[in-house]
Structures are given as C-alpha cells and as structure tokens.
Amino acid sequence: MKKTLHKAIFVFAMIATLTTGCRSTDEYKKFANAGSGYANAVDKLLDAAGDIRIDTTSEQLLRNDRILNLTVDDYKRLADRDDERLEVIRKNLFG
C-alpha cells in the first residue's frame, strides 16, 4: 500500500511539475525579443553617448578658442581624451 501511495504521489508531483513548470515557446520568444531589443537600445545609447561627447568637446574648443587662444597641443589633449572614451565605448559594444 505504501509503495502504491509513494508511486501515486511521485507521478502526481511529476505531472504537476511538468504542467506548471514549463513555459510555452511563445513566452521564450517574447523574452528573447525583449533581450534583443534591449541590446539594440544599449548599442544606440552608446553611439549617442560618443556623438554627444564629440559635440561637447567641439563646443568647448570653440568657446575656449575665443577666450584662451588654445594651442595645437591643447587641441590634441582634448582629442586624445575623446579617443580614450570612444575606445571604452567600442570595447563595450564589441567585447
């Protein structure tokens, strides 16, 4: 009697697990699409961040040039910092 009861409980537990624990393939597709959408959004965000930083540096150069009469070395230093930031963004985008 105990063996039969244990088997019945085991079978019931397996059926309950299989019917409630498994998701439909549609849910997995939605999850995968959400992940792809997120990855695309992050790529666009990093691209925009790079563009914004370059534009900010350009504005800073124009403003400072009128006030400080910057040298070529000053421009090079600012450009080098932007290159470093863009390299970090590239590493995050492409691993």
DSSP structure class, residue 64: H
Residue 9, in any domain of the structure: no
Distance CA 51, CA 91 (A): 16
Q: In the structure, what pLDDT confidence band is assigned to residue 18 with cuts at 50, 70 and 90?
A: low
User: Does 1 have pLDDT greater than 60?
Assistant: no
Residue 5 lies in a domain: no
What's the structural domain count of the chain? 1
Residue-wise pLDDT for 23-65, tens only, equals 677 888 888 899 899 988 988 988 898 899 889 988 887 887 7
Residue 13 lies in a domain: no
